[in-house]
Amino acid sequence: MRAAIDARNVQAIARLVVAGASTKVRQAAADAIEDPDVLRQLIRDVRGGNDKNVYKVLTSKRDALLEQARKLEQLRAEIIEASGALERHSQRSYDALFSQRLGQFESRWKAVAEQADPELRGRVQHWIDRSRETIAEHLRQTAAQMSREQAAAAAAAEAQHLRDEQAQASAAAAAEQARLGEEQKRALAEQQHAEQQAARQIGELNRKARAALSDGSTSRAAGVRRTIEEKLVGAAALPANLASQIESLDQQLDALKDWKSFSVTPKRAELIEEMELLVEATLDPLALADRIKSLQDEWRTLSKGAGEGLEADWQRFQQAAQRAYQPCKEYFAAQALVREDNLRRRDALLAELTAFEAGHNWEQADWRAVIKTLRETKDEWRNCAPVDRQAGKQQQEAFAALTASLQGRLDAEYARNVKQKESLIERTRQLLASDDGRKAIDAIKQLQQQWQTVGPVPREVDQRLWGDFRQHCDAVFQKRQQEFDAYTAGLENNKTQALALCERLDQIAALEGAELLAYAGAMAELRSAFEALGEFPRADTRELRNRFDQGLDRCSKSFARQHARDVERGWDVLFEAANHVRAYRLAVARGLDIEQLGTLKAAAETYIASVQRWPKGGLDSLKKGLARERSADLAANELALKMLCIRAEILTDMPTPPEDQPLRREYQLQRLAQSMGQGLRVDETQLDTMATEWAGVGPVEDVAYEPLLLRFRRCRAQGNLRSP
């Protein structure tokens, strides 16, 4: 063994693997084999032998060599792929993923670069450098382009700024001139309107004073006359007729002055007493102020109506009024602070709302934010009350204009969204007429998604539009449901028919013999019938198809088993016929009389004639054996049958009896020497060919023939189990 290993004599080492004197030698020889072809041949030769350790060593060596070869091939392929990727990448022009892909390709190459040859590594580095130069060139071009664009943008911005300033100055001058003209017109109109309004008011007051005099209410008439006097301060000259009416009113009041005087003094005393009572009163400041003002008005009415006043009474009344008004004064001072604070808060709200409108991106407006801001700002504005009417008037106008501007933008968005939703409603209505229910449903789902993306709409309008949209959607879904129900019923019908076909296959697969073979041509028809059914319920499709395919497979296996049984029955018949021929030829070899020989030969011929079909070559082999009058040596025939058994045992990995192990090893060595690296001949791998040879072998004694036939038929049974 050492000499063969040192000389690298593969055939000698292989012979030692099969026929070494000890298992240690055979294992060592097996471990020295490196040629994959020789390993595969030796594995076939020792398979089924007694030395399992040698078989394990050989298979382990084969697997290790295959794994090593696979890894080398995988590494080579990875090197080729990684280098090829870098080469192709270096030839590409720059794009957005150029740098990222270069990094990926470099990482992949670095993982295998050490196993590549130096020449390839040099070429790959050149490709990497070229790719990096492509990146650098792109960066240079990008920087230059950005520099040019920035310079152009700066120049354009400066020119636009100058144009904007000039336009603003011109617009401001024109606006100022127009504003002054409008203010003059408005002032003149307001003055004329004020004079006309004052004249109408004085005329109306004059009528009220005369009506009071007619009713006998001198004090009320005097109060109205005092109001007329206040209106006359700073007013333009009255028309002549109105001035005459005022003069007549004064004369009537003077005429009544004397006889009213005696009733004023008691009333003044009552007013003084009531005012002094208010000093200690616990009324609400507003109610208290109203009552004080009412008493003061009555005092002035008495004073004007009576035409005289007592200074001492007036001083007493005025002091009581001042003391009584002190809580009201404190209250109204606090209210003034509140109004001032509300004014400041409203100024802040105006500033915030102005900044919101100016800073909002109206090209991509957040309308929910606009709605929320409008609602919350209006609520806060109402909460910032009360305020001084005159001071808050300009604020209110600015706030109204600002909210109106925002509301106008919002209303325009509402109109766009309403139009868009009405378009979606019309599209859903059109889908109701679609013949393709599935496409209609898919389209409805897309429209529902689009509906969700449409911007805000006023709540009442949105509810109405949603009702219309949902009504059309429901109609499409209902139509689709009706179609689906009909479609589902069709699927269930297909399922029922498919189950019937599957059950039919199960019934056929359970048959045997001629009854089974009668359905051999029906498989294609059953498959065509199954495929013609079309669709099944989705949940059952896989199971139905699997069951039908399994049914076809079971039928195919039943046909195959039946065919195998029929074929094996043919071989059984061949062995039985061969046994008749053997009995006849054995009788010839023993020299029995002619009558016995004739009986045995007739029995063989009758049996052969009764058989309709024979395995290929079987009948010729039997006829040749029957025609031989002189028989060969019985020992040689027995040896031939033993060799057929050994060949079959090697082929089917069956063990050989110990007494025939030397014959098996000798046969394996001969075959190894004859077919080293060439594989087995076809006729040596076919059990059927061996069976035909078996029928042609000469006679053997019964005591030897029966065990050999049992061994050979066991191998055939094993071969049938291993065959697909």
Range 3-20 average pLDDT: 83
CA distance 278 to 259: 31
Instruction: Measure CA 183 to chain center.
Output: 65
CA distance 74 to 68: 10
Report the percentage of the chain scoring pLDDT > 70: 93
Q: Where are the alpha helices (DSSP H) in 233-310?
A: 240-279, 285-306
> Would you mind telling me the total number of residues written for the chain in this entry?
724
Which of 43-47, 88-92, 263-267, 436-440 comes out lowest in average pLDDT?
263-267
CA distance 290 to 278: 12
**667 and 685 in contact (C-beta within 8 Å)?**
no
| pLDDT at site 65 | 84
Please give the radius of gyration of the chain, using alpha carbons only, rounded to the nearest integer: 61
C-alpha atoms less than 13 angstroms from C-alpha of 4 in its C-beta half-sphere = 19
Question: Among all chains, which residue has been given the structure tokens 């040698």?
Answer: 54
Question: Among all chains, which residue has been given the structure tokens 């009041």?
Answer: 253
Q: What is the DSSP letter of 533?
A: T
Q: What DSSP element (H or E) covers 134?
A: helix 118-214
Q: Does the pLDDT of residue 680 top 50, yes or no?
A: no
CA distance 131 to 105: 11
Mean pLDDT for the chain overall: 83
CA distance 543 to 547: 6
Q: Read off the tokens for 302.
A: 């008495």
CA distance 500 to 539: 18
pLDDT band at 682 (very low <50, low <70, confident <90, very high): very low
**371 and 462 in contact (C-beta within 8 Å)?**
no
| pLDDT at site 719 | 79
pLDDT band at 630 (very low <50, low <70, confident <90, very high): low
Range 366-372 average pLDDT: 90
Range 169-185 average pLDDT: 80
**577 and 604 in contact (C-beta within 8 Å)?**
yes
Range 656-678 average pLDDT: 81
CA distance 71 to 686: 36
Which of 152-156, 229-233, 416-420, 695-699 comes out lowest in average pLDDT?
229-233
Q: What are the tens digits of pLDDT across the range 321-357?
A: 888 888 888 887 888 888 888 888 989 988 998 998 8
| pLDDT at site 400 | 92
Number of helices and strands in the chain (H, E): 24, 0
Other CB atoms within a 10 A radius of the CB of residue 493 amount to 12
| Three-class DSSP category at 508 | helix
Range 273-295 average pLDDT: 83
Q: Does the pLDDT of residue 217 top 70, yes or no?
A: no
pLDDT band at 677 (very low <50, low <70, confident <90, very high): very low
Range 497-507 average pLDDT: 89
CA distance 329 to 325: 6
| Burial class of residue 549 (count of CB atoms within 10 Å of its CB; 0-12, 13-18, 19+) | middle
Q: Does the pLDDT of residue 482 top 80, yes or no?
A: no
Write phi, then psi, for 180 (nearest 5 degrees). Answer: -65, -45
| pLDDT at site 58 | 86
Bigger pLDDT: 694 vs 626: 694
Q: Which among 292, 275, 287, 286 has a CA at the least distance from the CA of 331? A: 286
| pLDDT at site 408 | 93
Q: What are the tens digits of pLDDT across the range 517-561?
A: 888 888 888 889 988 988 888 888 899 889 889 988 989 888 888
Range 564-570 average pLDDT: 78
Q: Does the pLDDT of residue 718 top 80, yes or no?
A: yes
Q: Helices 459-509 & 389-431, crossing angle to 10 degrees?
A: 30
CA distance 5 to 11: 10
CA distance 377 to 54: 95
Instruction: Measure CA 420 to chain center.
Output: 27
pLDDT band at 255 (very low <50, low <70, confident <90, very high): low
**549 and 526 in contact (C-beta within 8 Å)?**
no
Which of 52-66, 370-384, 671-685 comes out lowest in average pLDDT?
671-685
Q: Does the pLDDT of residue 479 top 70, yes or no?
A: yes
pLDDT band at 632 (very low <50, low <70, confident <90, very high): low
CA distance 597 to 580: 12
Other CB atoms within a 10 A radius of the CB of residue 536 amount to 21
Question: Among all chains, which residue has been given the structure tokens 């090893």?
Answer: 665
Q: Does the pLDDT of residue 313 top 90, yes or no?
A: no
Q: Which among 440, 435, 462, 461 has a CA at the least distance from the CA of 451? A: 462
Q: Give the contacts of 702 (CB within 8 A, at least 6 positions apart).
A: 586
pLDDT band at 683 (very low <50, low <70, confident <90, very high): very low
Q: Does the pLDDT of residue 259 top 50, yes or no?
A: no
